[in-house]
Chains A and B, each alone.
Chain A
Amino acid sequence: MRAPSEAVLVLQDGRTFRGQAYGAIGETVGEAVFCTAMTGYQETLTDPSYRRQVVVMTSPHIGNTGINDEDGESRQVWVAGFVVRDPARVPSSWRSRRTLGEELQTQGVVGISGVDTRALTRHLRERGSMCVGISSTSTDADALLAKVRQAPPMAGADLVDEVTTPHAYVVPAVGQRLFTVAAIDLGIKAMTPTLLAERGIEVHVLPATSTIEDVLSVEPDGVFFSNGPGDPATAMHPTELLRQVLARRIPYFGICFGNQILGRALGLGTYKLKYGHRGINQPVKDLTTGKVEVTSHNHGFAVAWPGREHGHSAIETEFGRAVVTHVCLNDDVVEGLALLDAPAFSVQYHPEAASGPHDAAYLFDRFIQVMEAERDA
């Protein structure tokens, strides 16, 4: 066996792990987060919400099915770094086109393998998310630590502009067009317009910088805000845009970042979770039906609901009464919001899945119903 070159991983608090170089040779710094999904690393890597994050995969074997041409969720790999324990040497899938290692090299993503990912995960769980550096060019942990400590924190980071599409584009409806939706790309995953289009929606994906005029120009039946990276508190422009949408009573559906923006547009706060939700096994209860769905999550921030100790009772907002519609059963984090007096709702998690279970796909149908009801009204 050839001895692979060494690599080092250093956390902001000084904890150091040594392993082997994986992917591109180089040095990287980002926020360390862990993802507990056992499948779907290709979708994870290409999810723009992971911008500037170093993702630790808790599942030990990564790369087993290689990289294919269908499962990417965007045009590139976004993670700032990738930490795995046992990368596959030989991928096995009839759809595989190249190995994950090759893909990371091609895209210049620095990774590390062979580290005790469980110890690292437990550390992040106990101490919270923090900055991390990986280097496969130097094994000098002290030098790397100095760089890690200079890195900007995720709280306060405005990253949407780094991931949004530069140009508007259209995803045509499958079959007959029933509705038109303006989808604001704050870091959108490809599966979202796909699922909207499958339901007869013509999706106009618009850059994050779009104005209300840009939105209105596509004559939308509804407006959609996608997931995306960074701290929602910095997303001034999207929040203002959404307020204008709500003021016009255009049906609204938001996912992830889009949920946080709805919260902020309603005047609620957002806060950073200790270590976030990243995985595809999270139990979420739909409070409107009592049903539990197993869902895909990728969020480090959440909406703060006022007076949580009194439950999730409706509150008054500028746009009428708002309620919590979904909560995570693991930790009671707010996972969904809706307005009772306006056609707007959102969820903190990922009904488009990719990766993850399809339990929450009904939310896209709910969006259709909301648009139908509004059109009929």
Chain B
Amino acid sequence: MPRRDDIASVLVIGSGPIVIGQAAEFDYSGTQACRVLRSEGLRVILINSNPATIMTDPDVADATYIEPITPEFIEKVIAHERPDALLATLGGQTALNAAVDLAAAGVLERYGVELIGASIEAIDKGENRETFKKIVESLPARWEAEVASSAICHSMQECLSAADALGYPVVVRPSFTMGGSGSGMAYDAHDLRRIAGAGLAASPTTEVLLEESILGWKEYELEVMRDKADNVVIVCSIENLDPMGVHTGDSITVAPAMTLTDREYQRMRDVAIGVIREVGVDTGGCNIQFAVHPDNGRLVVIEMNPRVSRSSALASKATGFPIAKIAAKVAIGYTLDEIPNDITAKTPASFEPTLDYVVVKVPRFAFEKFPAADPTLTTHMKSVGEAMAIGRNFTEALNKALRSLERPQAVFSWVGEPGDKDDLLQRSRTPHDGRLSLVMDAIRAGASTEEIFDATAIDPWFVDQLMLINEVAATVAGADELTPAMLRLAKRHGLSDAQIGGLRDLREDVVRGVRHALGVRPVFKTVDTCAAEFAARTPYHYSCYDEESEVQPRTKPAVLILGSGPNRIGQGIEFDYSCVHAALALSDAGYETVMVNCNPETVSTDYDTSDRLYFEPLTLEDVLEVFHAEQAAGPVAGVVVQLGGQTPLALAAALEAEGAPIVGTSPAAIDLAENRGEFGRVLAAAGLPAPKHAMATSFTHAKAIAHEIGYPVLVRPSYVLGGRGMEIVYDDDALADYIGRSTHISPDHPVLVDRFLDDAVEIDVDAIFDGETLYLGGVMEHIEEAGVHSGDSSCTLPPITLGREEIERIRTSTEAIARGVGVLGLLNVQYALTSDVLYVLEANPRASRTVPFVSKATAVPLAKAAARVMLGESIESLRLAGVLPMHGDGGDLSPDAPVAVKEAVMPFNRFRTFEGKAVDTVLGPEMRSTGEVMGIDARFGTAFAKAQAGAQDGLPTSGQVFVSVANRDKRHMIFPIKRLADLGFEILATSGTAAILHRNGVESTVIRKLREEHAAGEQRPRSIVDKIFDGEIGLIVNTPHGVTSGGSPRVDGYEIRTAAVARNVPCITTVQGLGAAVQGIEALLAGDIGVRSLQDWAALLQADGEVGRGH
């Protein structure tokens, strides 16, 4: 059955911005799908609001719409493109929900668009808990498949009575949400009110499921693939080390399953296949989760996702079986036996991968960004990224995965005393980030396997593996000397040189030197889907300490590209984007590209992206071994470190010292830019102003500096990415508090104290410098004032309020910095413009977070150009080669160029404080967004409105607006609020704000804030918070009052902002944002907003360039 010939064009829906629970994995799957469909000759139309993705690169689809993923905008795209089919199973829950909405609204029928992959009926059967339960119960009795006892509830009253019947604790699961949003475990009625309340609100169908607790059971997942001929294969089994109770996205997971007999595994397989058939997922991948009772094997089916998921991406990387690619092929009619297995090329995809290695995935959390949040792990996903490692056994894979996290505390350490056993066991009872280290400490303190199982319900096999690691560590510590046999033992269980050094009180480089001298080096094996039964064609490697290496010799010069490791706030998919572009560009330029990375979600770790892939931790030790292996295989032209963010950059100097040829900006120049003193001299030499600043090594020192510069000051540790630990402080007390919390201050770890520029416009620039010529990629103007982290700030390109003269100043300054620092490749500079002075805030000689946004907005592949510059090409030659435009650059866009607005997406709704309340949402210098969207249109207001619609529910066009602003903002809010009133909005305001509005001729209704007192016995008046929760408010304007002290936000406004998050009401927290919102609302009210593909915009830009530039 070859592919269907009745489909000529397909609309693919992406997953939108990166949020917790829906991340880069959907870029990976979507990109694969688009490429497959195009290679089959179909016209591929893509809609995705996330510019930081590879899938939205204009050459991945025929028509790429960076537009909000809402039914309205998708319908516009459908009306314009008239696709034959819609594929929604590769864009996560967002795409699936959009497809359901489109079908419900009759759009698909109206335009004759066929939903392929999974039907609406199948989506509903899989996601509707009641029908799903019936399906599981209808399976053959001998499989003994069950679902947990449960009740569907649509109101709080139903929840309370159902919980009484089921018995506490109960699990709360809202229907149709992603990443377990709104779900949790309720131990009593009080918990239940809180969790089910949020769950009912989060569910688009106001429906939650209450379920008997299966806490502590063993947890498994199967990845299933089906074609239209009903051929079904299990791609991968995954076992969670953390038992039931922790969301699988937050669990340490292992592939393949480790503790199932064949009978249990095959029964699970039968059930999975039975479910996918009954649900009726016609074609494609789906994921099904199981719980197994550890004492009797009772098998409970938890849920199934009738689409590609986070686990599918993991399973694809873990097995070499590209689930999304195959899902796209079966969606257009192929059967599995007609699709070749890429890796072997000779065998078909209708088989089940078998592994001769172990894969471990560990989550990465960002609780340090949300100090008020409760770090307990629940069924509500909280991790922001993950690292995967491959080893020949579990211990090796686990240790590699833990060091891939780049968090020192995540790696097992035997330095110091472990602490009290009972205390450690007690603390291990609650799952949280870092529990595994506590478990290891408990083992060190003498805990038995039984004691650890009792405390954690972690399967005894896994506990014994931890015991094994501890025994190996003891052997290493107790040995007389480092022998080859002992090193080999340590290495075969994954201990790093640093860990061995810690055990023997040796420096890491000394251990490495001894190890190399003794000839103990890793070999590299291949991920081949078939446990070596057939020869692999694809060099997808991992290290281990076995005998035989499979790295093939080569003749072409290789370039190693170091990726960015696990996603985290501040270092996300944007860096992977640049790495992927470098791989593509350098491959085109004739190099053999070698990717090193450990993030399973990404496009960079697709075995198709580079010529060779090493799935390895990004530590000095692991990267050096890859370098060594590749050097032995053939010439190495260079190592690229400036595209993957701070992770590879931090390795640059050490790699260079070990003889690796770092290409592009030299490690010395990178260091120079990071060093405040030296960088200050570069600025001084070029005559560029910077805010007054100094480096403090103690509190007294810092205070003296602050007094000299004058408050407010911006304080932060040196060497940071994503504004880690950055705060604005307004007085001595706040400074003391900051220093107190920032315990690392010392001459080695100084704190930077900067003058904070109030009321400045912040500007971000991305540029490429080849040593002679500067290519100004783009100038972005922040919408929020300086002080909000650039990653959290919305920005616009081209800048909407900067004139030609200012941009020329920016160009000159940027070039001076590039020259002064010695940049070769990409450079990002942040400026602040205030009182007509252009201050240089910081310069980063590397790929920035905004590279993909700039590339999309200006239709120029900056990262590709930069990669080639790093390997010696000039801007001029790249213009001639057509990589860069022949004339002009991102600084002199035509006045008719489209305006692109980037908006950040915040994860506040994922976190709760210890008291169970939402965490505060005020923006500050510490970056906390997980992702971004882009809105692009001819005018700023429309582009801004699109960005808002993409980032959240969008701006309202009528209804009630609540206004409460800080005193310093009152003057600036009058005009925009008046405009909103003129546009027909009803204004609600707190008394102070209302009085000022009244004096300015804007009538508003006074409303109480929650915290306002009322007399005893008086009927409690409805507060703004009540109205927000009741869905009456369409827009909130709330700028934080006064000064925050000690990093803890003032209670003032806190409940309002958190209520806004809970109900997804747009909440504007800066006056500048208010101005932009008013423009956006005006654009919405002005009438029909159109959609236009990037390809069409590019054609327009090009035409403009030919006419407008060339002067």
**A→B interface (CB under 8 Å):** 1, 17, 34, 36-40, 42-43, 58-61, 64-65, 68, 70-71, 85-86, 88-95, 116-119, 121-122, 125, 279-283, 285, 290-292, 294, 329-331, 353-358
Contact = CB atoms under 8 A, between A and B. Distances in A.
Contact of A61 (B234, B265, B348, B358): B358
21 contacts: A1-B475, A34-B531, A38-B237, A38-B354, A40-B261, A59-B256, A61-B258, A64-B259, A65-B260, A85-B392, A118-B525, A119-B548, A279-B531, A285-B337, A291-B230, A291-B231, A330-B534, A331-B347, A354-B262, A358-B266, A358-B270
B355 A38 contact: yes
Contact of B532 (A39, A88, A122, A281): A122
Interface residues of B, number: 61
Contact of A90 (B233, B335, B449): B449
Given A122-B548, A330-B351, A64 B531 contact: no
Interface string B307-346: 0000000000000000000000000000111000000001
B236 to A, nearest CB: 10
Question: Which of B231, B294, B348 has the most chain A CB atoms closer than 10 A to its own CB?
Answer: B231
Given A329-B350, A330-B347, A279 B533 contact: yes
A201 B94 CA distance: 52
A294 to B, nearest CB: 5
A116 to B, nearest CB: 4
B471 interface: yes
B337 A89 contact: no
Contacts of A281: 351-354, 530
Contacts, number: 171
B531 A58 contact: yes
B354 A92 contact: no
Contact of B530 (A1, A36, A292): A36
B229 interface: yes
Contact of B393 (A86, A93, A354): A86
Contact of B297 (A88, A94, A294): A94
B258 A64 contact: yes
Contact of A117 (B262, B266, B356): B356
Across the A-B interface, the 4 shortest Cβ-Cβ residue pairs: A40-B262, A119-B548, A355-B262, A92-B461
Which among B461, B531, B534, B546 has the highest number of chain A CB atoms within 10 Å? B531
Contacts of A1: 471-472, 474-475
B347 A329 contact: yes
B1013 to A, nearest CB: 59
Interface in B443-493: 449, 459-461, 463-464, 468, 471-472, 474-475
B758 to A, nearest CB: 61
Nearest to A59: B356
B356 A90 contact: no
A202 B1033 CA distance: 74
A17 B464 contact: no
A277 to B, nearest CB: 9
A15 to B, nearest CB: 10
A61 B472 CA distance: 18
Given A40-B261, A85-B393, A90-B461, A60 B356 contact: yes
A1 B469 CA distance: 11
A294 B233 contact: yes
B461 A36 contact: no
B356 A61 contact: no
Contacts of B263: 70-71
Contacts of A291: 229-231
Given A71-B261, A125-B533, 13 more contacts: A1-B475, A36-B354, A37-B262, A39-B261, A42-B261, A58-B356, A89-B464, A118-B546, A283-B337, A294-B233, A330-B347, A357-B266, A357-B352
B256 A38 contact: yes
A356 B269 CA distance: 10
Nearest to B352: A281
A39 B356 contact: no
Contacts of A353: 266
B548 A59 contact: no
B1018 to A, nearest CB: 62
A90 B393 contact: no
A65 B546 CA distance: 25
B357 interface: yes
A282 B233 CA distance: 11
Contacts of B461: 64, 88, 90-92
B532 A121 contact: yes
Interface of B: 229-231, 233-234, 237, 256-263, 265-266, 269-270, 294-297, 335-337, 346-348, 350-358, 392-394, 449, 459-461, 463-464, 468, 471-472, 474-475, 525, 530-535, 546-548
Contact of B348 (A38, A65, A279, A329): A329
A261 to B, nearest CB: 26
Q: Which of A70, A122, A283 has the most CB of B within 10 A?
A: A283
Secondary structure class of chain A's binding surface, majority of residues: loop
Contacts of A71: 261-263
B262 to A, nearest CB: 3
Contacts of A36: 354, 356, 530-531, 533
Contacts of A118: 356, 392, 525, 531-532, 546, 548
Nearest to B471: A1
B1043 to A, nearest CB: 56
Contacts of B357: 60
Contacts of A37: 262, 354
A122 B336 CA distance: 26
A354 B263 CA distance: 8
Contact of A294 (B351, B464, B533, B546): B351
B261 A59 contact: no
A290 B492 CA distance: 45
Contacts of A357: 266, 269, 352
Nearest to B395: A86
Nearest to B530: A36
B201 to A, nearest CB: 41
Contacts of A64: 258-259, 461
Contacts of A285: 337, 350
B267 to A, nearest CB: 9
A283 B392 contact: no
A93 B532 contact: no
Nearest to B353: A281
B685 to A, nearest CB: 58
A59 B347 contact: no
Contacts of A329: 337, 347-348, 350-351
Contacts of B356: 36, 58-60, 117-118, 121
A93 B350 CA distance: 31
Nearest to A122: B532
A59 B531 contact: yes
Contacts of B532: 34, 58, 118, 121-122, 125
A129 to B, nearest CB: 13
Contact of A121 (B350, B468, B531): B531
Nearest to B397: A60
Given A36-B354, A60-B356, A17 B547 contact: yes
A9 B475 CA distance: 26
B337 A39 contact: no
Contacts of B392: 60, 85-86, 118
Contacts of A119: 546-548
A94 B525 CA distance: 34
A358 B264 CA distance: 12
A37 B237 CA distance: 13
Contacts of B237: 38
A292 B256 contact: no
Contacts of B474: 1
B290 to A, nearest CB: 15
Contacts of B266: 39, 353, 355-358
A95 to B, nearest CB: 7
A65 B449 contact: no
Contacts of A282: 351
Given A61-B258, A64-B258, A85-B393, A94 B351 contact: no
